[in-house]
Structure 1
């Protein structure tokens, strides 16, 4: 029987069953900063493996193209194997920012991994050139989403100050994928065939899918409750118009510059007109019609997101122009083998990993990003300028390591710019902000390949016509433009003219890349510093510790919040 001295509320007796039940309840409703250390590393392992595979695929295909084209006898279509992947990446990458809010992080990430895995499987089983082009498009739908969802998940699980350090480790996998894609693809293709280079990736895709499926279960606000709701929130108009205007622009550049058709040709005029029309429709849909547009008009009104987007666009143009055409310079001017030419990209990948770790450590230690950006952000310009001035008699050190500053500088730049963006937008918009920045990067990737290809083909045609004359010269020029591997087998006199022509054409591409990365540096000058400790809910102020309930005190015996730990 109770008396006046008995408490009105009796504290629960915390036995083993109580604690176990509490643990199960908390596990079901954990936020991203509360996941256990083991779960966090398992999640990171899953998204990093997927990052590695996505990067591997972007460079792997380049070494497989000769084998693929020779099997299907469709050399005139071979460029679309790479373009299809970039086209899909450009159109679908920003969508994953919205999907991460609508479907949840796990649903969006696993959707991306599933598309990439199925596309890769289809590539390995392709019965025709058209099929493999479609398969590469399918894989590209997931490839871009892997990067976006990985960045969003990392942003969820770490405080702003620690986020750069976590992202730097992710970039090691990115650099490894970019650096190993060419050599690994060539090695597997030579021994087991080009199909094996695709199929061997499937167990790693499965491992990534399992790791995230089992461990990525934290709760974030805004998750849609039904598949119907998710489907309603997709910006179909934005996706369609993006595909249409980018495809039309690529077709125009191909007809006008790759095939050298005159300006009054119907195909040139029509593709240019469609590119302009669909781009205007894209802007109309995104700014006026879409309920949840991938372009995010609210971010377009803010200075920092726009500057970061422009920077990403210009950096991607430089990166992809160099990545696609730097090995060709060694094949056509230095007459190196394809495998040796591809290895010249390896210093870039290694320095990218080193730069990522350095940037993450610096931001984690100082809580600043602007100093490191302005100090080391000029290195890509230095590297591009060095590449532009390479000669056949350049020292081995210059030939191998001129590209290294580019990887180091760009790793720092892209990482600090992502952190700068996240520091200047509300935490609730992290997902769509990340997708927004990736959209500009995707446009830059496509633009880098398309614009540099147009410059290269136009200048190469002009230089070859200037140097090669006589009977049969148009046919010889056409064959030389279509196959870089033909250069090494030409007679000495003709070979010298062709090597000089390739040198001039490729140097024009490198000059364009140099201008692009310098413009990106100028844009970054306008991005201000902001402390990474400001408005960070993961780090409570020491003078104002949060009020904790009895439930939270007991649960600490079982679960340690991720916000209190550091990589």
Structure 2
């Protein structure tokens, strides 16, 4: 646990080294690399840029709201490990199902921009906004599952339409490259989201524990913060368990707020897309080897 938060030497050194490596990478790519790692001409296409922004935001948001979710379900909603796993996997299973649905929709209509801009992104924001309210102590688990389904539906759509957007914007021989670039942005977004979630957790959760825990349990604050087994060892309904649940709720609120606010960037990214009609797009036939 970094007690100094963002002011700790470890965090500061990692930030400085990270920024320095980015600068070195840009200089190398621009001035010295015989073959660049990223095909920069592709990134001049607004549809590709918008899809990469969307992908980065999707993964940033996911790691903000999904981090510590399973432990939240066990500690706050008093679920078993098995039941918490079921609820946590609603997003993955639901997103896969809705991907099939949106695939059929795109096959029939040929349009992917409108469904992303006016349905998927608002639905994702709605689901996360509702999670801010329902991921609190004393809330019914059914409402959390409902929010998971909203986010799964939106996420399944965005996963498909984002990939379709970058493929429709480039020639056939560049499809593999542009998908790799989109994947790169998704990994960058996920890494940043995971870092933000961990930073919020480290700065909010222990402070709230210190605020809510009974005085008799304050000597065990660090153990409670670090060990979910210690958190679960306190009886449901006890003052200590209720204090831990309140601290979880406050930390989750901050993480969900970050994961929701970033979607304004995704909305702007999708606005950059060309409204391509897939039915008018020339299909390449034959063997792809």
Superposition TM-score, scaled by structure 1 size: 0.47
Aligned-residue offset at 1:447: 1.6
- Partner in structure 2 of residue 310 of structure 1: 53
Partners of 2:254 and 2:4 in 1: how far apart? Answer: 21
Q: Is the 8 A contact 1:315 1:444 kept in 2?
A: yes
* 1:184-199 correspondence to structure 2 within 5 Å: none
1:477 to 213, 221, 240: 221
Q: 1:371 to 1:338 in 2, by over 3 A?
A: same
Q: Could you tell me which of 253, 259, 268 is aligned with 1:507?
A: 253
Query: Residue in 2 aligned with 1:299?
Result: 42
Residue 456 (structure 1) shift: 1.5
Q: Kindly indicate whether the alpha-carbon contact (under 8 Å) linking 2:5 and 2:202 is maintained by their aligned counterparts in 1.
A: no
Q: What's the CA shift for 1:470?
A: 4.6
Task: Quote the residue 2:89 is aligned against.
Answer: 346
1:83: which partner in 2? Answer: none
Task: Show structure 1 runs of 4+ deviating over 6 A.
Answer: none
SS of 1:403's partner is helix
Q: Which one of the candidate residues 131, 135, 139 is aligned to 1:387?
A: 131
TM-score, normalized by length of structure 2? 0.88
Say what the alpha-carbon RMSD is for the aligned residues.
Answer: 2.4
Counterpart Cα distance in 2 of 1:305 and 1:521:
14
Counterpart position of 1:524: 270
Q: CA deviation at 1:448?
A: 1.9
In structure 2, the CA distance between the partners of 1:468 and 1:312, relative to structure 1 (3 Å rule), is same
Larger Cα Rg: Structure 1 or Structure 2? Answer: 1
Q: Are 2:236 and 1:493 equivalent residues in the alignment? A: no
Give the alignment of 1:92-131 within 5 angstroms. none
Change (3 A) 1:392 1:500: closer
Superposition map of 1:123-142 within 5 A: none
Report deviation, 1:280: 0.9
**Rounded Cα–Cα distance in structure 2 between residues aligned with 1:443 and 1:287:** 20
Q: Does 1:438 align with 2:183?
A: yes
List gaps (5 residues or longer) in structure 2.
Answer: none
Structure with higher RCO (Cα < 8 A, 6+ apart): 2
Unaligned runs of 5+ in 1: 1-257, 540-560
Q: State whether residues 459 and 505 of structure 1, in contact with CA within 8 Å, keep that contact through their aligned partners in structure 2.
A: yes
For residues 444 and 511 of structure 1, what CA distance do their matches in structure 2 show?
A: 16
SS for the counterpart of 1:520 is helix
In structure 2, relative to structure 1, the CA distance for the partners of 1:427 and 1:463 (3 Å cut) is same
Aligned to 1:410: 155
